[in-house]
Structure 1
Amino acid sequence: MAEAILATVRASETPSMFNHSVRSFFFAQLLAEHEGCLEDAAYDRDLLFASSVLHDLGTGSLAKGEARFEVEGADLAADLLREHRVPEADIDRVWEAIALHTSIGIVERRGLLCYLTGVGAAIDFGPRAEIVSGWEKQIDAAYPRLGMVRSVVDAIVERAARSAAAAPIGSIGGELLRERSAKGVTSLELAAPSSPWGE
């Protein structure tokens, strides 16, 4: 299943997005270790790998831009996991983690898998980067950033521009599309140079 996940993401996302997705897994796992969650009954490394590596599948070539990228990605991930006979209860957990990963203030309250997936992905933008201190150079060497912030914004905005349903008010896709349309640049891109990653 892990090989199928990696192959799907590598084939459908840009190299920068692929590397971000894999780094997000490592950061989520380091977060779990930092917070003492590895022995928690709710901790499942296989599901964390799936939700983290597949969390931006809705920004890749498989997505049609007919819904928020988080939801399209969650649907695509669920289909892939079904092909590998993952139990429906586990698929539902991964779906929720992916669909909510950009919903700050919600994802942290929907269980350990959602929390680790959302915060693991967010660490790659700078927040709580101290948690992965000591590992970030090794991880970045294996999976370089390659202009990740611009790549992520470009992919989200391109999908959001395809339909009104893909860019509802209050969604990150909708907000980034509006910022890019109005100013030519987004707040994420403006903040990137001052992040701990220096991008």
Structure 2
Amino acid sequence: MDFSLDLPTGPLAEAVLATVRTTETPAVANHSVRSFLFAELLAAHEGCLDDAAYDRDLLFAATVLHDLGTGSLAKGEARFEVEGADLAADLLRRHAVPEADVDRVWEAIALHTSPGIAERRGLLSHLTRAGVGTDFGLNADVVAHQADRIHAAYPRLAMVRSLVDAIVERAARSDAAAPLHSLPGDLLRERRAGGLTGLERSAASCPWGE
């Protein structure tokens, strides 16, 4: 694979990028684009690029929109993964994406914090979760040869802290946004109890830093 930092083009891709850049913090928006680029590298490493289930445009939509529930469009009425999936689905429908593909993107976003489940729900969900995880340091050896280029183009900007702040702020808006044993619920309780969450502490061991 001849890896490129070039992103998908066209009305849908442009709408996806415009949405995250105008509704999320710059740190979270950069994280989302890096997640796509890492997911592409993982797909190549796993030999998935020629798989019939591989769709670059849908992977771009799922990874780049996966934290839409942390942005200004989210109301904090449900956990951020679900709100983000709903918002992404609305965007895709406005661009006449087939409903079956909308559902695949919805599922990939809704499950991206669900280890052991996302990996069993098809290639798109698997690659979305894997790309996101790589930006937190997983599979670092697989993508290390391109990591500097990716981070130069899309700097981290204290991403972990920015993302946790956004998740916690929305989780605090309603009980439904922070259910027990969910990532937003755990982050909210950790933040209220001690100020620093486990996710933020883990950034110290991430090869990319915060």
TM-score (normalizing by structure 2):
0.94
CA distance in structure 1 between the aligned counterparts of 2:133 and 2:169, rounded to whole angstroms: 20
Which residue identity lines up with residue 159 of structure 1 in the other structure?
R
Alignment partner, residue 116 of structure 1: 127
Q: How many residues align?
A: 199
Alignment partner, residue 129 of structure 1: 140
Alignment partner, residue 99 of structure 1: 110
**Aligned-residue CA RMSD in angstroms?**
0.6
Alignment partner, residue 35 of structure 1: 46
Q: Percent identity?
A: 74
CA distance in structure 2 between the aligned counterparts of 1:16 and 1:195, rounded to whole angstroms: 16
Alignment partner, residue 89 of structure 1: 100
Query: Shift of the alpha carbon at 1:131?
Result: 1.4
Q: Deviations over 1:141-181 (max 9, x none)?
A: 00000000101110111110000000001110000001111
Which residue identity lines up with residue 148 of structure 2 in the other structure?
K
> Does structure 1 residue 168 correspond to structure 2 residue 179?
yes
5 Å matches for 1:54-93? 54-93=65-104
- 2:145 is paired with a residue whose SS is coil
CA distance in structure 2 between the aligned counterparts of 1:94 and 1:146, rounded to whole angstroms: 27
Query: Shift of the alpha carbon at 1:125?
Result: 0.7
Partner residue of 2:27 out of 3, 8, 16: 16
Structure 1 moving runs of 4+ over 4 Å: none
TM-score (normalizing by structure 1):
0.99
Query: Shift of the alpha carbon at 1:130?
Result: 1.2
Which residue identity lines up with residue 95 of structure 1 in the other structure?
W
Query: Shift of the alpha carbon at 1:198?
Result: 2.4
Which residue identity lines up with residue 187 of structure 1 in the other structure?
G
Alignment partner, residue 164 of structure 2: 153
CA distance in structure 1 between the aligned counterparts of 2:160 and 2:186, rounded to whole angstroms: 15
Query: Shift of the alpha carbon at 1:129?
Result: 1.2
Structure 2 stretches of 5 or more lacking a match? Answer: 1-11
